[in-house]
Amino acid sequence: MPARAGLSRLPLLTILVAFAALSVDIAIPVVNTFAAAFATTSAAAQLTLSVFVLAFAVTHLIAGPLSDRFGRRPVLIVGVAVYTAATVLCLFAGSIEELVAARFLQGIGCCAGPVVGRAIVRDVYGGERAAKVLAYMSTVMGFVPGVAPILGGVLAEAFGWRAIFVALLVFAAVALLGCLFALDETNKWRDPAAVRPRRLAANYLSFLGDRTFLAYLVATGFTYSALLSFHSLSAFVLIEQFGVRIGNYGYWFLGIVVGYVLGAFTVGRLHGRLGPNTLITIGLSIEVCAATLLAALGWARVDAPAAIIGPMALFMYGGGFVFPNAAAGAIAPYQTKAGAASALLGFAQFMAGAVISTIVTRFHAGNQFTLVTGVLICALVGLLAFRLLIAKPKPALAPAE
């Protein structure tokens, strides 16, 4: 093990893995502020989230292979440097177009953190110890979606929306300094063929021909699409329609984080008694029930924050069943191609979220109807598609003689 990559480096690795969650969640309370600041529409302001996720998704397909070919450290340094420069551009953006473009660059640079950070954990710790380290990091990461919106709301209310990019710039600078001075190269076995297009294409096409892999892909993809659709419109609904203060938005958001943590905890207790496909089906069914309740309250014009947050907390309780089981199930059959399988799963999940949430926000009409309907459609399609794909095809009947 490299001398500087032991347990003392876990804080740096955790920061790297937390890049995406922090970058998305800290901006959620101020999406509506972007619209007001640049005199634009809610759909245009929402692009600051969706293009970030889009860039983050696409970069999944190359960040891992690049680190296999050239090493973890150079890919990390370049990625974090791009993220840092893009954050400066966000800070000084003079129009919504400039902010959206800068967020796209942020998403590209951001991807190196979580993708390569997890690879470093596998390099350094290996096997069972790596699983324990990743579990520790995931526990810490669970607090990010709860804390980031609170931080973003408080900063924006006190100092204006640009303050959130000052916070991200400090975060990025710490990560960049850590990569430069506190992290050794951990990839001792470079793969010269890792980025050859033919190999990448062959791997990804083989996954897309696997019905079981596709089932896990749609389960995570539609769950995340519902969540990102909520992220994109919740600030408009809660702050502008229901009158929640920007500084208080994050506290409401904590309810959703608690729902997910409880769901993941429940899954941990049920493992060994129920199979992963059963647990995913239960989770998707909970999501449908929660989305139905959300839609019913929204269509009935129950204009209260609890009518949105309560059902979404239940929805993410179901998400706690879906995400860990689908991720593990998708990668498990591909021991020698686990990185590529993980990359494609991540790409599809975030790409679906970016595209579907953008479509949903195009129909936003100043009320909660679009939000609740979009979440319900995602939940229904996710459950139906998963069950259709996971079911074993019936053998063809022999022709009558």
Is the pLDDT assigned to residue 400 strictly greater than 50?
no
> Per the domain annotation, does 328 fall within a domain?
yes
What's the pLDDT at 20?
86
Task: Give the highest mean pLDDT range of 118-132, 190-204, 276-290.
Answer: 276-290
Same structural domain, 142 and 212: no
What's the pLDDT at 381?
97
Question: How high does pLDDT run on average in the chain?
Answer: 86
Residue 268: band (very low, low, confident or very high) from pLDDT cuts 50, 70, 90: confident
What's the pLDDT at 74?
94
Same structural domain, 237 and 167: no
List CB contacts of 69: < 8 A, sequence separation 6 or more.
190, 191, 192, 194, 195
Is the pLDDT assigned to residue 127 strictly greater than 70?
no
Same structural domain, 163 and 209: no
Same structural domain, 158 and 303: no
Name the more confident of 96 and 248: 96
List CB contacts of 377: < 8 A, sequence separation 6 or more.
none
Task: Indicate the pTM of the whole model.
Answer: 0.79
- Per-residue pLDDT tens digits for 29-50: 898 899 999 999 888 998 999 8
> Per the domain annotation, does 198 fall within a domain?
no
Share of the chain above pLDDT 70, in %: 90
Same structural domain, 31 and 150: yes
pLDDT, mean of residues 63-84: 91
Q: Residue 118's domain is classified under what CATH number?
A: 1.20.1250.20
Same structural domain, 130 and 218: no
Same structural domain, 270 and 315: yes
Residue 3: band (very low, low, confident or very high) from pLDDT cuts 50, 70, 90: very low
Same structural domain, 209 and 271: yes
Is the pLDDT assigned to residue 247 strictly greater than 90?
no
The whole-angstrom separation of Cα 41 and Cα 298 is 22
Name the more confident of 298 and 264: 298
> Per the domain annotation, does 94 fall within a domain?
yes
DSSP 276-327: HHHHHHHHHHHHHHHHHHHHHHHHTT--SHHHHHHHHHHHHHHHHHHHHHHH
> Per the domain annotation, does 399 fall within a domain?
no
Same structural domain, 40 and 128: yes
Is the pLDDT assigned to residue 205 strictly greater than 70?
yes
> Per the domain annotation, does 274 fall within a domain?
yes
Residue 291: band (very low, low, confident or very high) from pLDDT cuts 50, 70, 90: very high
> Per the domain annotation, does 39 fall within a domain?
yes
What's the pLDDT at 8?
58
Full residue range of the structural domain in which residue 131 is found:
1-180
Same structural domain, 264 and 131: no
What's the pLDDT at 398?
45
The whole-angstrom separation of Cα 371 and Cα 367 is 8
What's the pLDDT at 121?
76
> Per the domain annotation, does 401 fall within a domain?
no
- Per-residue pLDDT tens digits for 336-389: 666 678 788 888 988 998 899 889 888 887 788 999 999 999 999 999 999 999
Residue 255: band (very low, low, confident or very high) from pLDDT cuts 50, 70, 90: confident
Cβ of 391: how many Cβ atoms within 10 Å?
11
> Per the domain annotation, does 277 fall within a domain?
yes
Same structural domain, 240 and 343: yes
Number of domains in the chain: 2
Cβ burial of 348 (10 Å; 0-12, 13-18, 19+) is: buried
Same structural domain, 128 and 256: no
Tokens at residue 391, please? 């079911």
Task: Give the highest mean pLDDT range of 39-43, 98-102, 235-239.
Answer: 98-102
Tokens at residue 305, please? 């924050």
Lowest mean pLDDT across 130-134, 163-167, 269-273:
130-134
